[in-house]
Chain A
Amino acid sequence: MFLALGLIVFALLQGLMAAKIIGSFWQLNITIIGINIILAASLNLINGYTGQFSLGHAGFMAVGAYVSVVLTTNFQVPFVPALLVGGVMAGLLGFLIGLPTLRLKGDYLAIATLGLGEIIRIVIMNIPYVGGAAGFKGIPHHTTFAWVFGFMLLTLFFIKNFVNSTHGRACIAIRENEIAAEAMGINTTKYKVMAFTIGAGFAGIAGGLFAHMFYIISPASFTFMQSFNYLIMVVLGGLGSLTGAIAGAFFVTFISAALASVPEFRMIIFALLLILLMFYRPQGLFGYVEITHLGPWREFFLRKERAKR
């Protein structure tokens, strides 16, 4: 059902691109939207569903990006295995970082993850093997719209099924009330670290996809400003909604692209938007709600639910 819908959207977009109705500028942007959806959805697993305020997503993206480009460029590893290794390494790092930092709460966790994201970037900057601050050159141009779309579907599929299982419910319970979650037999540390690890892993894959769009990547692409960008997507779209993450990624990427020539303006617009949002809709555009719960869709899905009984 979900996959079928995805394939239809894919066929439509691919057709428009082939027919040159979507020009190369927007083609590039649509690909970036796909990557940003992966990042927003994976960050949402940590921030939205589990309620752990993380600001280090660009750091995990950087790990995935650098690991995968080293593998494809220096070791001629095929693209997909390289992406997956990048994702696993980012996930592993997420696990190692998550274990101590997730004991922290709220603002402290945000500051710690922000710092660690920056540390990752600075460490990369000081490794001559990957080009240091000047960046890593000669990356093969592997990333196509099709690969991005495929991995995006995979991410959404994974996270959607995860949050609708006992494992995802454990994460959501932590967000709702950590003390009650413990009292219900949920190992809260384990599930916080699990959400963080999975989120970091998908960020790593997104980083690999991002890196293989360009000839050169540099640590400057993975600053905390980038992490903020993903946070804005998640907060705008709605913490704890995949539909929201998709909408947020669309919206932010679209506006960024449209205002690419006036970058100062862009940040002002986002700042204003966020302020307005906090006043009028603090839960984000979608809140905790999925599009499948709205209006006519709701009827359709509820009927399906009832038919199951």
Chain B
Amino acid sequence: MKKQELLRAENVSEVFGGLKAVSDFNFYINEGELVGLIGPNGAGKTTAFNLFTGVYKPTSGTISFAGKSIVGLKPHEITQQGIARTFQNIRLFSELSVLDNVKIAHHSRIKYGLGEAVLRVGRYLTEETAVEEESLRLLSIFKLESHAYELARELPYGAQRRLEIARALATQPKLLLLDEPAAGMNPQETKELMDMIRWVRDEFKLTVLLIEHDMSLVMGICERIYVLEYGMVIASGTPQEIQTNPDVIKAYLGGEE
């Protein structure tokens, strides 16, 4: 049952001017998996996320989600299909309240029309109440409920990263893409985040793909790992296989020392 394939990329390349940011990228992730995508700076990890979420259109290759091609769909259409993401350089709605940030992400599931909204009747009332409750529940999962009415930009850095995850979850995704969720966090926060990601994956029956530089986090929670270098996959496999792969040690892990 768990072996259902959710996302697959075949021979995907993305060229910026003369630079091949991603080349012949082959990738898959099964339902319920927690997979890591690692590699040195500029390897093309974020570009891969942008390709999956429709921010960029692949120069060549195919990407399919739940068996259907998603190439050429707009980002909001892909989100509606069930892929949500966070951003490496945090992109919150910074002048809005923490609660509103999460409420906005419910957008595509709200059914009331313009008329009901302006007259404040019918589904407006029931759906708005439900959205508010659901948003507060998500905030409490991420220990943000006490900040619900503060502006997003006033949150401490780690809390902003958690809010990005809460907001992404509010779109009710099947696949969650996390771009360096632990960046800028201290070891204690990173540890808590790891537990949270694992818990969220089980609780929401999610599939998670994460980019991360923090090796303890990646090796600790990922079931499979892809290693990118210069836009190409140089290795993939379990954390043990990656840690002992000579190419990876040379290209990436060794490079850190």
**Interface-side segment among A7-15, A59-67, A168-176, A201-209:** A168-176
* CB contact between A184 and one of B107, B112, B117, B124 (< 8 Å): that residue: B107
Bound together, the chains give a CA A183 to CA B74 distance in angstroms of: 9
* Assembled-state Cα–Cα distance A185/B119 (Å): 25
Stretch from A23-31, A94-102, A157-165 forming part of the interface with B: A157-165
Complex alpha-carbon distance, A182 and B168, angstroms = 12
Q: Mark A178-190, 1 if CB is under 8 A from B, else 0.
A: 0111111111100
12 additional contacts (CB under 8 A) given A182-B75, A183-B84: A165-B112, A166-B103, A166-B107, A173-B93, A176-B92, A179-B87, A182-B55, A183-B76, A184-B79, A184-B104, A185-B108, A186-B104
Does B171 contact A185, Cβ atoms closer than 8 Å? yes
**A52 CB to nearest chain B CB (Å):** 16
> In this assembly, does B224 line the interface, its C-beta being within 8 Å of a C-beta of chain A?
no
Residue among A170, A173, A176, A180 having the largest count of chain B Cβ atoms under 10 Å: A180
- Cβ contact within 8 Å between B107 and A183: no
**Does A144 lie at the interface of the complex (its beta carbon under 8 Å from any beta carbon of B)?**
no
Contacts of A188 in B (CB 8 A): 76
Q: Given the known A-B contacts A166-B106, A182-B74, A183-B79, are A177 and B124 also in contact in the complex, defined by CB atoms under 8 Å?
A: no
Complex CA gap A179/B49 in Å reads: 13
B residues in contact with A181, CB < 8 Å: 93, 104
B191 within 8 Å of A by Cβ? Answer: no
Contacts of A166 in B (CB 8 A): 103-104, 106-107, 110, 112, 117, 127, 131
Q: Which residues does chain B contribute within 8 Å of A172, judged by CB atoms?
A: 93, 96, 100, 104
Q: Is the interface of A mostly helix, strand, loop or mixed?
A: helix
Can you list 27 A-B contacts (CB < 8 A)?
A161-B117, A161-B118, A161-B119, A162-B114, A162-B118, A166-B127, A167-B117, A169-B103, A170-B104, A172-B96, A173-B93, A177-B91, A179-B55, A179-B87, A179-B91, A181-B104, A183-B75, A183-B76, A183-B84, A183-B85, A183-B168, A184-B104, A185-B80, A186-B76, A186-B107, A186-B108, A187-B76
A251 at the A/B interface (Cβ < 8 Å)? no
Residues 79-97 of B, flagged 1 when their CB comes within 8 A of A and 0 if not, give: 1100011010001111110
Size class of A's contact patch?
A: 20 to 34
Could you list which residues of chain A lie within 8 angstroms of chain B, going by C-beta atoms?
157-158, 161-162, 165-170, 172-173, 176-177, 179-188, 288
- Is A182 a contact partner of B76 (Cβ separation < 8 A)? yes
C-alpha gap A183/B110 in the complex (Å): 16
- With a cutoff of 8 Å between Cβ atoms, the chain B residues found around residue A182 in the complex are 55, 74-76, 79
Across-interface contacts of B206 in A (CB, < 8 A): none
> What chain B residues lie within 8 Å of A173 (beta carbons)?
93, 96, 104, 107
Residue in chain B with minimal CB distance to A176: B93
Question: Shortest distance in angstroms between A103's beta carbon and chain B's nearest beta carbon?
Answer: 13
Is B120 on the interface with A (CB-CB < 8 A)?
Answer: yes
Number of interface residues of B (CB under 8 A): 38
Across-interface contacts of A157 in B (CB, < 8 A)? 118
For B53, the closest partner residue in chain A by CB is: A183
A residues in contact with B87, CB < 8 Å:
179-180, 183
- At the interface, yes or no: B167 with Cβ under 8 Å from chain A? yes
Q: Is B105 interfacial (CB 8 A cutoff)? A: yes
What separation, in Å, do the CA atoms of A161 and B227 have in the docked complex? 49
Chain A residues near B75: list those with CB within 8 A: 179, 182-183
- CB neighbours of B55 from chain A (8 A): 179, 182
Alpha-carbon separation in the docked complex, A143 to B95 (Å) = 40
Q: Nearest residue in A to B129 (C-beta to C-beta)? A: A308
Interface set, chain B 52-94, CB cutoff 8 A to A: 53, 55, 74-76, 79-80, 84-85, 87, 91-94
Question: Cα distance A185–B75 when bound, in Å?
Answer: 7
Question: What residues of chain A lie closer than 8 Å to B171, measured between beta carbons?
Answer: 184-185
Q: Which residues of A contact B103 (CB under 8 A)?
A: 166, 169
Out of A158, A169, A170, A187, name the residue touching B74 (CB < 8 Å). A187
Q: Compute how far the CA of A165 lies from the CA of B120 in the bound complex, rounded to whole angstroms.
A: 9
> Please, which residues of chain A bring their CB within 8 A of the CB of B84?
183
In the bound assembly, the distance between CA atoms of A277 and B127 in angstroms comes to 40
Of listed A162, A168, A176, A187, residue having the most chain B CB within 10 A: A176
> Is B120 within 8 A of A161, CB to CB?
yes
Q: A177–B91 Cα gap in the complex (Å)? A: 7
**Alpha-carbon gap, A75 to B92, bound state (A):** 53
Verify B91–A185 contact, CB threshold 8 A: no
Is A184 a contact of B96 with CB atoms below 8 Å?
no
Q: In the complex, are the beta carbons of B93 and A162 less than 8 A apart? A: no
Asked whether, in the complex, the Cβ of B92 is within 8 Å of the Cβ of A169, the reply is: no
Kindly list chain B residues whose C-beta atoms are within 8 Å of the C-beta of A186: 76, 104, 107-108
